Amino acid sequence: MSDHDQVKMTKMNYANDRPKAKNPLKVEDLTFRDGHQSLFATRGRTEDMIPVAEMMDDVGFWAMEVWGGATFDTMHRFLNEDPWERIRTLKRYIKKTPFSMLLRGQNLVGYRNYADDVAEIFVERAAENGMDIFRTFDALNDYRNFETVVPVIKKCGKHFQGCICYTMTEPRMGGDVYNLDYYVNKAKALEAMGADSICIKDMAGLVAPYDAYEIIKALKKSVKPPIHLHSHFTSGMSSMTHLKAVEAGVDIIDTCMSPYAYRTSHAAIEPLVMTLLGTNRDTGFDIKHLAGINEILEKEILPKYRHLLNDTKVSIIDINVLLHQTPGGMLSNLVNQLREMDALDRIDEVYAELPRVRKDLGQVPLVTPTSQIVGIQTVNNVLFDEGKERYKMITDQVKDLCYGLYGKTATQINPDVQKKALKGYSRGEKPITCRPAEVLEPELEKAKEDVKGLAVDIDDEIIYALYPITGKKFLKWKYGKEEPPPEVLPRTLEDAEKEREIVKKALADELVERKKDAPSKGDTIRTFNVFVDEDYFEVGVEEQGGSPVISYVQPMQAPVPTVSAQQAVPSAPPPSASAESAPVAKSEPASAPPSGDVDGTPMSAPMPGMIISVEKKVGDSVEEGEAVIVLEAMKMENALGAPASGKILAVHVESGDSVAKGEVLCIIG
Ligand code: CO
């Protein structure tokens, strides 16, 4: 800090009665959104936020991020919670601190651009339900995708925070595309749109400390709105980046409460408070008060979520991010997807293919949804391309991107890939150059019509408009028209304790016979995180002759003997480890015969996922390669082509079904 203003540390008081700093650093807390999205698969329940809500309100945060991003999706899909209700409930406990949400521009809280009428009503309802700050970003940094939502944010009298997604193609900031000029120009564009603040959104933890210093200095010089830094910890740089950003004059920084901090989340608030204590950027926060919140989170809340921690390594940082300039969440999604497809051994090919696909697709920033679009296409290329033919299975989202439906890419899309992707594309083979939502027909009235008699108010209708399949399912649970499945029920502290006991028993001698001659690991092995007291094990479980067996237990902290047994052990369901994970597939054996008496060519699911639509019915004729079924896997839609020409003899699935890899979907003969 150039103008150090240290108060004598001997007289320093940790509590918040110390003298106010000249220019206190403002802090936004992300515990209730990005924190649990990054570490606990966005599974945080409202009831687990309430015990600390009032204490959080007393900290003095500039804002609390409590909504948006993946919360809307996860809540209705996996938690049987009404996303709108969360804002209203938290508002009853948090009365002083403004609420912030992550808005994906025209993608809202979904994974595609929605029509203008849906975008307008969504923002209006979010504001009405209690949202104050709209942190708005576009995955391509194409601000034409802000043109619909920003006037509504302003009309509602709310704060428009414009984001610049931070990304790079080189190991450090620079190069032809994402250099300092790029960021300064983007900031100027946001200021011109009326941004109340400007956020550098570093979703991958890529901003190196000295690059942060340079950008923030430049932005403070070039634009008036306050500058906000959102930098994930993933690579391990963000604490250093925060300090350099503070020195460069950043106005607001994002942190989490320490139990929700680090790893792929954000640096914790507590060390930052201490770092700045007594300086001219002192936050003024009471560290003892923060400790009180932590104690409740650690003891009463986190035991319920610990099993979700995707934590197969001892290291809490991911140096792959430094090596590949790729978001950690995206990398863990790729690993999960490969694991589900029994192809984890091909991860190095995926790393090599990733920069090629990204370049082909116009060097897009890697953030939801472009990180998934690039990631899934990369996996598809590695798994399904044959010989010289590339892009054999192109996802519908890549086709949309090539058409221009997400906006303008930073560099030109590879014309060959674009041509192949748009061959037979439903909207046309010639890409558009206008603002993407201009080609979208209004969607709201049709959505309202679809859920007539089920939806009670506009908020219900929006849930359906954003997520037709899972949204409708949720509305049926909400209004008692369908029984919610047991897996959406909350997990209690007792459940967590019970599972630990079961595993403990299983590991004891009377239940598990330890075998010296362990069988070799097969390729259907699945990995579980198991916690026994303070010990943490990685357990490989493999189906053998119908009953699950533990085929290895790897101690991750304390050394224990390797256990292997032919004994069935009850175990917790596998964690859906990633924030963007696909619905859990039915656990039917992949090779189960469909219905016995139909001969013909079976068409099976190349990957686990959910059926979006069945384009053909029994009796229809199809050509080889013609789209028969649309399967959603890892949020990407894949049109599955017929394996042979002929007639559809049987269809075994319908829209909304979850399917396992290899499950027969229909028969063609
Ligand atoms: Co984030």
Give the span between the Cα atoms of 300 and 49, in whole angstroms: 11
**Residue 535: per-residue pLDDT:** 52
For 89, other C-beta atoms within 10 Å of its C-beta total 18
Residue 234 alpha carbon to ligand 1 centre in Å: 11
Give the span between the Cα atoms of 34 and 46, in whole angstroms: 14
**Residue 669: per-residue pLDDT:** 87
Residue 269 alpha carbon to ligand 1 centre in Å: 15
Residue 230 alpha carbon to ligand 1 centre in Å: 7
Q: How confident is the model at residue 169 (pLDDT cuts 50, 70, 90)?
A: confident
Q: What angle do CA 300, 302, 305 make, to 5 degrees?
A: 130
Q: Where are the domains of the chain?
A: 24-308, 326-433, 493-556, 569-669
Quick check: 104 and 66 in contact, CB under 8 A? no
Q: Mark residue 184 as left, alpha or beta (left: phi above 0; alpha: psi -120 to 50; beta: remaining).
A: alpha
**Most confident of the ranges 14-23, 79-88, 551-560, 625-634:** 79-88
Quick check: 205 and 328 in contact, CB under 8 A? yes
Residue 200 alpha carbon to ligand 1 centre in Å: 11
Residue 553 alpha carbon to ligand 1 centre in Å: 33
- Coil, helix or strand at residue 185: helix
Give the span between the Cα atoms of 593 and 616, in whole angstroms: 21
**Residue 378: per-residue pLDDT:** 95
Listed range (539-543, 565-569, 653-657) with the worst mean pLDDT: 565-569
Residue 231 alpha carbon to ligand 1 centre in Å: 7
Q: List CB contacts of 619: < 8 A, sequence separation 6 or more.
A: 647, 648
Residue 34 alpha carbon to ligand 1 centre in Å: 5
Residue 310 alpha carbon to ligand 1 centre in Å: 17
Q: Which fold has domain 24-308?
A: TIM Barrel (3.20.20)
Residue 105 alpha carbon to ligand 1 centre in Å: 15
Residue 532 alpha carbon to ligand 1 centre in Å: 31
Quick check: 610 and 588 in contact, CB under 8 A? no
Residue 437 alpha carbon to ligand 1 centre in Å: 25
Residue 421 alpha carbon to ligand 1 centre in Å: 30
Residue-wise pLDDT for 323-362, tens only, equals: 888 876 787 788 888 888 889 999 999 989 999 999 999 9
Residue 164 alpha carbon to ligand 1 centre in Å: 12
Residue 139 alpha carbon to ligand 1 centre in Å: 13
Average pLDDT (441-455) is: 97
Give the span between the Cα atoms of 342 and 223, in whole angstroms: 50
Q: Which amino acid makes up residue 44?
A: G
Residue 632 alpha carbon to ligand 1 centre in Å: 24
Give the span between the Cα atoms of 257 and 348, in whole angstroms: 35
Residue 657 alpha carbon to ligand 1 centre in Å: 31
Residue 132 alpha carbon to ligand 1 centre in Å: 18
Residue-wise pLDDT for 449-501, tens only, equals: 999 999 999 999 999 999 999 999 999 999 999 999 998 999 888 888 887 77
Buried residues in 378-392 as b, exposed as e (16+ CB within 10 A): bbbbbbeeeeeebbe
Residue 366 alpha carbon to ligand 1 centre in Å: 12
Neighbours of ion ligand 1 (CB under 5 A): 34, 203
Residue 398 alpha carbon to ligand 1 centre in Å: 23
Quick check: 109 and 466 in contact, CB under 8 A? yes
The CA distances from residue 340 to 172, 526, 641, 662, in Å, are 33, 8, 21, 11
The mean predicted confidence, pLDDT, of the chain is 85
Handedness of CA 424, 430, 436, 440 (dihedral sign): negative
Tokens of 412: 């030109």
Residue 581 has pLDDT above 60, yes or no: no
Q: List CB contacts of 9: < 8 A, sequence separation 6 or more.
A: 278
In the chain, the percentage of residues whose pLDDT exceeds 70 is: 83
Omega before residue 606 within 30° of 0, cis: no
Residue 642 alpha carbon to ligand 1 centre in Å: 39
Residue 233 alpha carbon to ligand 1 centre in Å: 10
Residue 347 alpha carbon to ligand 1 centre in Å: 25
Residue 254 alpha carbon to ligand 1 centre in Å: 9
Residue 134 alpha carbon to ligand 1 centre in Å: 14
**Residue 368: per-residue pLDDT:** 76
**Residue 479: per-residue pLDDT:** 97
Average pLDDT (29-52) is: 96
Residue 118 alpha carbon to ligand 1 centre in Å: 24
Residue 260 alpha carbon to ligand 1 centre in Å: 13
Residue-wise pLDDT for 170-186, tens only, equals: 889 988 999 999 999 99
Closest CA to 371 of 382, 357, 381: 357
Q: Which residue has the higher pLDDT, 306 or 56?
A: 56
Residue 201 alpha carbon to ligand 1 centre in Å: 7
DSSP 642: P
Residue 136 alpha carbon to ligand 1 centre in Å: 12
Residue 367 alpha carbon to ligand 1 centre in Å: 9
Residue 229 alpha carbon to ligand 1 centre in Å: 10
What is the pTM assigned to this prediction? 0.77
Quick check: 111 and 401 in contact, CB under 8 A? no
Give the span between the Cα atoms of 391 and 451, in whole angstroms: 38
φ, ψ for residue 256 (rounded to 5)? -125, 160
Sheet holding 658-659, edge to edge: 636-641, 627-633, 609-614, 658-659
Q: List CB contacts of 263: < 8 A, sequence separation 6 or more.
A: 38, 39, 233, 234, 309, 311, 316, 317
Residue 665 has pLDDT above 80, yes or no: yes
Handedness of CA 188, 192, 197, 201 (dihedral sign): negative
Quick check: 18 and 282 in contact, CB under 8 A? yes
Residue 232 alpha carbon to ligand 1 centre in Å: 6
Residue 203 alpha carbon to ligand 1 centre in Å: 5
The CA distances from residue 223 to 143, 157, 169, 272, in Å, are 17, 22, 25, 26
Residue 536 alpha carbon to ligand 1 centre in Å: 27
Q: How confident is the model at residue 608 (pLDDT cuts 50, 70, 90)?
A: confident
Residue 669 alpha carbon to ligand 1 centre in Å: 49
Residue 425 alpha carbon to ligand 1 centre in Å: 33
CATH of domain 326-433: 1.10.472
Q: Which residue has the tokens 């016995």?
A: 596
Q: Which residue has the higher pLDDT, 521 or 600?
A: 600
**Pair type for strands 646-651 and 621-622:** antiparallel
Give the span between the Cα atoms of 475 and 335, in whole angstroms: 33
Q: List CB contacts of 45: < 8 A, sequence separation 6 or more.
A: 79, 81, 490
Q: List CB contacts of 292: < 8 A, sequence separation 6 or more.
A: 55
Buried residues in 14-34 as b, exposed as e (16+ CB within 10 A): eebebeebeebbbbbbbbbbb
Tokens of 659: 């399917």
**Residue 484: per-residue pLDDT:** 95
**Residue 16: per-residue pLDDT:** 58
Quick check: 370 and 408 in contact, CB under 8 A? no
**Residue 387: per-residue pLDDT:** 87
**Residue 536: per-residue pLDDT:** 52
Residue 423 alpha carbon to ligand 1 centre in Å: 36
Closest CA to 297 of 275, 321, 269, 322: 269
Residue 31 alpha carbon to ligand 1 centre in Å: 11
Q: How confident is the model at residue 526 (pLDDT cuts 50, 70, 90)?
A: low
The CA distances from residue 479 to 46, 486, 502, in Å, are 19, 17, 36
**Residue 171: per-residue pLDDT:** 87
DSSP 40: S
Residue 146 alpha carbon to ligand 1 centre in Å: 19
Quick check: 228 and 221 in contact, CB under 8 A? no
Q: How confident is the model at residue 595 (pLDDT cuts 50, 70, 90)?
A: very low
**Residue 231: per-residue pLDDT:** 97
Residue 570 alpha carbon to ligand 1 centre in Å: 36
Average pLDDT (591-605) is: 66
Residue 503 alpha carbon to ligand 1 centre in Å: 34
**Residue 218: per-residue pLDDT:** 98
Listed range (151-160, 213-222, 601-610) with the worst mean pLDDT: 601-610
Give the span between the Cα atoms of 345 and 125, in whole angstroms: 46
Q: How confident is the model at residue 13 (pLDDT cuts 50, 70, 90)?
A: low
* Bridge partners of residue 29, in order along the sequence: 64, 255
Residue 245 alpha carbon to ligand 1 centre in Å: 17
Residue 574 has pLDDT above 50, yes or no: no
Residue 292 alpha carbon to ligand 1 centre in Å: 25
Closest CA to 105 of 462, 409, 369, 411: 369
Closest CA to 616 of 644, 593, 647, 575: 647
Residue 104 alpha carbon to ligand 1 centre in Å: 12
Q: Does the domain formed by 569-669 have CATH 3.30.70.270? A: no
Residue 184 alpha carbon to ligand 1 centre in Å: 21
**Residue 280: per-residue pLDDT:** 96
Quick check: 272 and 253 in contact, CB under 8 A? yes
